[in-house]
């Protein structure tokens, strides 16, 4: 029945019955021309009606829902099923709604400007799909709507999701409190992570990057954690997801099965993540307030790539394979910005040169002139740094696990590494927010935790 470890149709029997159906494509006309591959509009709403009082208190969900979209993502699955492209659409994007009837009041409205997340409040899934198609010229094939409850249930069904951070993430509004390091988040904790907007000055744009990291981690968990190859686990996750989401009438167990089979050979590097290029992050509109205005020419190129089923960023030959063999640890400060002087604190010939080369290979700006330390009996590698550059020092210590951090006032921006006899190797590191190119693109393997 299951074939060579693949999920069989019999395993999926009966899953369709729990899906709440919507018809976001009803009576839609003048839609964009279909391209290659499949396009999903993934919408996260702030629905919290089914959440227990205990969870509301634990995860700060006691406020009133706005009945609008908290998250909007356009997900493109390539025709060859070898790539997934995820584009985040800021919820505060400046949008112009087409003529429609208000779902709540029944009042007929002419075209007018709004923030993108208001499309759902005024016209539900159908107006949301119409608005996104008008803005992107990408034809939507399937619609999936997830609320807070279904999100938490799905994450828990997968056994949690692993997230790593190079700096502390704290948000009083959501209750998020993650120290630096690697964490396996439960459904409730994951909801705090993807909702938080007040952990840095980037606000909603920073939150979108964290949401992209989460989706990349979710793909890694599904493909590497045995979910897609384990029929029982796949059915459990699928039934949890399909039983607690709203979807279009064309998306059900057969499509879920086809997706599962297509994604079995996925790795984190098979996914790529982008945010719509922004022209003006504070575009003021009378009666609406500050909105996010897209960079229209760049956005048009981005969505043209989706329509043509092209990768958003071509990978360098062999780069994905290399990264999968040498997963890097995320750090707060990019190593390219850190100047490092290496000294040999032992009597081991050539040790300073080896450490200098290894640090340079993972991106540090070394002096390339390693010297001998004042002492040749150093047992534990020392990282001496000026307290004003403590974040840089922590990045160097991540690359040299087990080393001793030693603050030296007035040393300046160059970090001094005194190699000791305990030195074994340099751990590859990467910036937590890697360079994103013209479309703001990263691949999944650039943002998931190294293993």
pLDDT in tens, the chain (451 residues): 333 334 455 455 555 666 788 899 988 888 999 888 999 999 988 766 677 788 878 777 766 666 678 789 999 999 888 888 999 999 899 999 988 887 777 788 889 999 999 899 888 899 999 999 999 999 999 998 888 888 888 888 888 899 988 888 999 888 999 998 889 999 999 999 998 888 876 667 778 888 888 888 888 887 776 677 677 777 777 777 767 778 898 887 777 777 776 676 777 788 888 889 889 989 999 989 999 999 999 999 999 999 999 998 755 444 443 344 456 788 888 899 999 999 999 999 999 999 999 999 999 999 999 999 999 999 999 999 999 999 999 999 999 999 999 999 999 999 999 999 999 999 998 877 654 555 567 778 777 776 5
239/14 Cα distance (integer angstroms):
9
Residue 93 is classified by DSSP as B
Per-position DSSP letters for 238-272, written without gaps between them: HHHHHTSEEEETT-SHHHHHHHHHHHTT--GGGEE
Partnered with residue 341 across adjacent β-strands are 416
- In angstroms, what CA-CA distances link 354 with 344, 370, 406, 426, 427? 10, 9, 22, 10, 13
The residue to which tokens 């047992």 are assigned: 379
Are 384 and 416 in contact by the 8 Å Cβ rule? The answer is yes
Helix (H), strand (E) at residue 189 = helix 187-195
379, exposed or middle or buried, with CB in 10 Å at 0-12, 13-18, 19+?
exposed
Distance between CA atoms of residues 285 and 293, nearest Å:
10
- With vertex at residue 220, the alpha carbon angle to CA 261 and CA 277, rounded to the nearest 5 degrees, is 100
Quote the CA–CA distance of 34 and 324 in Å, as a whole number. 34
In whole angstroms, what is the distance from residue 188 CA to residue 177 CA?
12
E-strand stretches of 129-277: 142-146, 161-165, 169-171, 176-178, 181-185, 245-248, 271-275
Helices H / strands E in the chain, number of each: 12, 26
pLDDT of residue 341: 97
**E strand or H helix at 278, and its extent?**
strand 278-285
Nearest to 232 by CA among 162, 159, 151: 159
């Amino acid at each position: 029945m299951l074939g060579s470890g693949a999920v069989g149709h019999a395993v999926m029997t009966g899953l369709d019955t729990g899906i709440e159906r919507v018809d976001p494509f009803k009576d839609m006309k003048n839609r964009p021309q279909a391209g290659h591959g499949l396009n999903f509009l993934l919408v996260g709403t702030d629905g919290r009606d089914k959440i227990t009082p205990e969870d509301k208190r634990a995860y700060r969900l006691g406020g009133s829902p706005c009945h609008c979209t908290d998250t909007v993502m356009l997900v493109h699955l390539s025709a060859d099923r070898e790539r997934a492209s995820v584009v985040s659409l800021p919820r505060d994007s400046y949008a112009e709604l087409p003529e429609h009837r208000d779902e709540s009041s029944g009042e007929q409205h002419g075209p007018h400007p709004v923030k993108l997340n208001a499309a759902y409040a005024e016209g539900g899934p159908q107006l949301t799909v119409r608005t996104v198609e008008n803005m992107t010229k990408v034809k939507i094939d399937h619609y999936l709507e997830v609320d807070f409850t279904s999100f938490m249930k799905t994450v828990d069904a997968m056994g949690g999701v692993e997230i790593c951070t190079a700096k502390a993430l704290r948000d009083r509004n959501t209750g998020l409190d993650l120290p630096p390091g690697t964490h396996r988040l439960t459904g409730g904790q994951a909801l705090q992570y993807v909702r938080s907007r007040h952990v840095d000055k980037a606000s909603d744009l920073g939150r979108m990057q964290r949401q992209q990291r989460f989706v990349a981690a979710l793909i890694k968990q599904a493909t590497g954690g045995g979910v897609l190859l384990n029929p029982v686990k796949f059915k459990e996750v699928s039934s949890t997801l399909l039983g607690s989401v709203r979807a279009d009438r064309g998306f059900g167990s057969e499509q879920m099965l086809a997706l599962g089979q297509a994604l079995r050979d996925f790795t984190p590097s098979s996914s790529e993540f982008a945010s719509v290029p922004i022209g003006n992050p504070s575009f003021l509109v009378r009666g609406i307030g500050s909105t996010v205005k897209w960079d229209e020419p760049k956005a048009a190129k981005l969505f043209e790539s989706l329509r043509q089923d092209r990768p958003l960023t071509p990978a360098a030959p062999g780069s994905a394979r290399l990264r999968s063999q040498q997963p890097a640890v995320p750090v707060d400060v990019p190593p390219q910005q850190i100047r490092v002087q290496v000294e040999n604190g032992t009597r081991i010939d050539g040790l300073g040169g080896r450490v200098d080369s290894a640090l340079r290979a993972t991106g540090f700006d070394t002096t390339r002139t390693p010297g001998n330390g004042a002492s040749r009996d150093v047992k534990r590698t020392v990282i001496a740094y000026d307290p004003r550059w403590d974040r840089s020092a922590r990045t160097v210590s991540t690359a040299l696990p087990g080393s001793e951090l030693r603050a030296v006032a007035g040393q300046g921006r160059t970090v001094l590494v005194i190699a000791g006899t305990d030195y074994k190797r340099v751990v590859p590191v990467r910036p937590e927010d890697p360079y994103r190119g013209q479309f703001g693109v990263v691949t999944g393997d650039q943002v998931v935790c190294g293993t």
